[in-house]
Amino acid sequence: MPLIKRWIEIFGAIDFISVGMLLSVVAMSSSKRIESCLKAYVINSWLLALLMAAFAVYLSIPHLYIAAFFTIAGKCVLIPYFLRKVIGELKVTREVEPYLSTPVSLIISFALVVLVYSFIAGGIFVAGAARNVLKISVSIILISLFTMMNRKKAVTQVMGLLFMENGLFLAGFSLTYGMPTIIELGVLFDMMMGVMILGVFLTQIKKSFVSVDLDKLTSLKG
Amino acid sequence: MLFVVVVPLAAALICLAVKNSRASEYATMAGSVAAAVWVLRLAAGSAGGTIYFSKNYTLYCDSLSAYILLVISLLSVAASVYSVEYMRGELRTGTMTEEGLRYYYLLLNLFVFTMMMVPLANNLAVLWMAVEATTLVSALLVGIYRKKQSIEAAWKYIMLCTVGITFALLGTFILYYAGAGIVGASGEAGSLNWTDLMHSARLLNPATLRLAFIFVVVGYGTKAGLAPIHNWLPDAHSEAPTPVSALLSGILLNCAFYGVMRFAAIVRVSCGPAFVRDIMIAFGVVSIVIASLFMLIQLSAKRLLAYSSIEHMGIISLSFGLGGIYGLYAALLHILNHAIGKPLMFFVTGRIHSVSHGARLDRVSGFLKMSPLTGVLGFVGVAALAGVPPFNIFLSEFLMLKGLAAGAHWYIMAIFLIASGLVFFSLLRGFGGMLLGRPRLGQNEEGQKQENHTKPVPGTWWPTSVMMTLLGASLLFLGLNIPGGIDKLITRSMGIFMGGGL
């Protein structure tokens, strides 16, 4: 254990992993196919679980192992499995159909990161191992929000929401080194229920609108 | 205290177990009445100054919780009684199936359960979970008809509110960070219990708390229907079954606003009252202006009422922001007043809807002649919602105006008066047209007028009429006289937002 602790320190593993999460969000926001979005989400979730484990080793907080385990169970296994099933059932076409082209979305993602780095620094001060993580997590949240606005397909909106939640968990970690386990579990449970219910609505949208394009959802205005 | 939340859960289990929709109706009504009786006992205790705790301080009930809980439980009784009449009508017309009805009652009980958890939560993360759970359950209720519009409304609702509430969780995390090193009243460091944080509010870092509060207001504000993040609200309110619309508008919005209030109490002590005041007043004024403008162009009665809810949430937010004796009293009283007036109007609209199959304002008229009692109650409700004396909403709005005058906010006062003029005009035009004139029940697709109806509205159920009359009567009663118990609850709750921490 002390050896791993030293390695985490020497290699800057915590920064490294969180940057990996940021990159996977950027990959999601610029990828063209739903499968690659889902893959990016799985990678993102594994990195999140790894980060929790790294914190658990580095700061010797055993209850973070439990949180990491449930993250793997929920975000890396159950949710992707469920989404694959829904996507398979819906027979959505593979393209995600963004409103803006890939280069433009990349530039906007980059601008969002710059914006966060220049603003957050003054507002809140975090010391210790997680000093860079808050900025990264807020960037992840904003990029996913932008992606949600940029996509036509209802499925990809759900993906954006999921990435946002990962960013949120990351923010929670960098600020607090983990909430009490029972609360982590409650939040995770709420979010999983949310994804399930969204899946139910997705199939209903497919049934009654014949497609899952959000452009078609226009009967309610004003 | 636990009994209160166990009852709706038990009723939900019964609805899950029985195979008969009649049995679920009665289980729901019995459950809501039992919970209401228990809440009344709890409220009586809280009005006397008792504060209830659960063993590990996760649940908590003081005067403010008891007050909100009282509103929730009374309204859930009204909604469960109304559901019987309305949903039987839907069953008769074939809009709902027997199976769907059981599902509806199951969700209705779960919805009440999640809403009751909100004011009882002491731990702010549990509060967040409860608010998120209300979104999930009520989204299923909004989409229960499985029509195009209702699915669209439910999708919009769950998406916007979940994204919004994600920000509230971020705000909660930041607050936890601010309180991480501080030992609270219960003796453990880094607790998320509201009581602990309130106890040590002076020690929290103001800059961090400002950031947290902004996230929380955006998050819970989305759910409370504050403009400009209100877009889900008119759709969800207009597409949900009418009893659910009444619950959404009358109490769900207040539950979300309750979250803002609990945070505001902490932030106020740490950052000074001016910060909270400015944010809440800004959201309030924007909501009032936007809602009053959108009300002018609405064609559907339920959407009109939905925008009226945004206006009233704006009034609550504005009064709460003003603070002081007048502002706080007005905000808390207005929560109750609006929660009585708006559901009554939804119930009236639901009755019109069930005979005319679609409550388009310009296609129905003369409902007063068809159903005199419902018509009169409709006029009472419109007058109350528009803030006409001697009804109760006039009282709370008048108190808010006094608060505005005391703080010399003349511009805001002018804006509010103009906006409430517009609201009065839209409500009277909309519902006046529906209630007065020659009896006519809409047109069919080809635009031909249907035959005139003068016979009484079919399918009314007398307990529902009694319940609606009681609601109408209490609109008038509360406008003339505030009962001592409610006065005590409100006055005690005001203390939370006035002193310098617990």
| Interchain CB contact of A2 with B (< 8 Å) | no
pLDDT grade, residue B444 (50/70/90)?
Answer: very low
- Asked if A74 and A192 count as a contact pair (C-beta separation under 8 A), the reply is yes
Chain B nearest-CA distance from A183, in A, is 7
The rounded distance, in Å, linking the Cα atoms of B212 and B260 is 11
Q: How far is CA A79 from CA A196, B107, B111, B134, in A?
A: 8, 24, 25, 21
Exposed e or buried b for every residue in B356-387, given b needs 16+ CB within 10 A?
Answer: beebebebbbbbbbbbebbbebbbbbbbbbbb
Average pLDDT over residues A197-203: 85
B154–A201 CB contact, under 8 Å: yes
| Interchain CB contact of B156 with A (< 8 Å) | yes
pLDDT of res. B445: 41
pLDDT of res. B312: 95
| Interchain CB contact of A145 with B (< 8 Å) | yes
B177–A176 CB contact, under 8 Å: yes
A164–B123 CB contact, under 8 Å: no
Chain A nearest-CA distance from B454, in A, is 33
pLDDT higher than 80, residue A213: no
Give me the residue spans of the domains in chain A: 2-213
* pLDDT tens digit sequence for B52-110: 887 777 888 989 999 999 999 999 999 999 999 888 888 888 788 888 888 899 999 99
A208–B148 CB contact, under 8 Å: yes
- Asked if A75 and A83 count as a contact pair (C-beta separation under 8 A), the reply is no
Residue scoring higher pLDDT (B189 or B486): B486
* pLDDT tens digit sequence for B261-280: 999 999 998 888 889 999 99
Which of B136, B148, B166 minimises the CB distance to A219? B148
Q: How far is CA B125 from CA A61, A147, B178, B258, B378, in A?
A: 20, 27, 15, 14, 40
* Structural domain harbouring B158: 2-496
pLDDT grade, residue A67 (50/70/90)?
Answer: confident
| Interchain CB contact of A121 with B (< 8 Å) | no
Q: What is the ipTM of this complex?
A: 0.88
| Number of Cβ pairs < 8 A linking chain A and chain B | 111
pLDDT higher than 80, residue B451: no
Residue scoring higher pLDDT (B58 or A109): A109
Segment among A70-84, A147-161, B467-481 with least mean pLDDT: A147-161
Give SS3 for B244: helix
Residue scoring higher pLDDT (B418 or A206): B418
pLDDT higher than 80, residue A176: no
* pLDDT tens digit sequence for B126-137: 999 999 999 999
User: Mean pLDDT score of chain B, rounded to an integer?
Assistant: 87
The rounded distance, in Å, linking the Cα atoms of B215 and B218 is 5
Residue scoring higher pLDDT (A206 or B111): B111
Residues in B touching A194 (Cβ below 8 Å): 132, 135-136, 158, 162
pTM: 0.91
pLDDT higher than 70, residue B481: yes
pLDDT of res. A42: 94
pLDDT of res. B501: 46
pLDDT higher than 60, residue B239: yes
Residue scoring higher pLDDT (B214 or A2): B214
Is B37 exposed, middle or buried, given 0-12, 13-18 or 19+ CB atoms closer than 10 A? middle
| Interchain CB contact of B127 with A (< 8 Å) | no
Residue scoring higher pLDDT (A96 or B345): B345
Q: Is residue B501, in this structure, part of any structural domain at all?
A: no
Q: Is residue B502, in this structure, part of any structural domain at all?
A: no
A176–B180 CB contact, under 8 Å: yes
| Interchain CB contact of A141 with B (< 8 Å) | yes
pLDDT grade, residue A94 (50/70/90)?
Answer: low
pLDDT higher than 60, residue B372: yes
Chain B nearest-CA distance from A1, in A, is 27
Which of B140, B156, B163 minimises the CB distance to A197? B140
pLDDT higher than 50, residue B454: no
pLDDT grade, residue B358 (50/70/90)?
Answer: low
The rounded distance, in Å, linking the Cα atoms of B463 and B305 is 24
Which of A141, A164, A175 minimises the CB distance to B177? A175
- Asked if B30 and B88 count as a contact pair (C-beta separation under 8 A), the reply is no
Q: Is residue B427, in this structure, part of any structural domain at all?
A: yes
Retrieve residue A20's tokens: 């990996």
Residue type, B429: R
- Residue in chain B closest to A168 (alpha carbons) equals B170
Strand runs labelled E in B349-461? 364-365, 440-441
Segment among A172-181, B52-61, B461-470 with least mean pLDDT: A172-181
pLDDT of res. B455: 47
Number of domains in chain B: 1
pLDDT higher than 80, residue B22: yes
The rounded distance, in Å, linking the Cα atoms of B192 and A62 is 20
Residues in A touching B129 (Cβ below 8 Å): 186-187, 190
Q: Is residue B454, in this structure, part of any structural domain at all?
A: yes
pLDDT higher than 80, residue B437: no
Which of A176, A180, A190 minimises the CB distance to B133? A190
| Interchain CB contact of A42 with B (< 8 Å) | no
pLDDT of res. B108: 94
The rounded distance, in Å, linking the Cα atoms of A31 and B38 is 55
- Residue in chain B closest to A203 (alpha carbons) equals B151
The rounded distance, in Å, linking the Cα atoms of B381 and B431 is 10
